[in-house]
Amino acid sequence: MNEATETMKPERDETVEPCVGQQRRVIRPGALRLGYADPPYIGQAQKHYSHDERCAEVDHAELIARLEAEFDGWALSFGVNLPALQEVVALLPEGSRVAVWVKPFASFKPGVNPGYTWEGVAFRSARPNRRDVATVKDHHIENITLRKGLSGAKPSGFCLWLFDLLGAEADDTFEDLYPGTGGVSEAWRNWQRRQRRQAVQLSFEGV
10-205: CATH, from 2.40.128, 1.10.3470, 3.40.50, 2.60.40? 3.40.50
Q: Domain boundaries in the chain?
A: 10-205
Q: What is the pLDDT of residue 127?
A: 95
Pure H helices in 18-140: 45-49, 60-70, 82-91
Q: What is the pLDDT of residue 204?
A: 66
Q: Which amino acid is at 27?
A: I
Q: What is the pTM of this model?
A: 0.79
Residues of the chain with pLDDT under 70: 1-29, 44-56, 147-151, 203-207
Backbone angles phi, psi at 78, to 5 degrees: -150, 155
Q: What is the pLDDT of residue 62?
A: 96
CA dist 98 and 14 (Å) reads: 26
Alpha-carbon separation of residue 10 from 2, 7, 14, 71, 110 (angstroms): 17, 10, 9, 21, 59
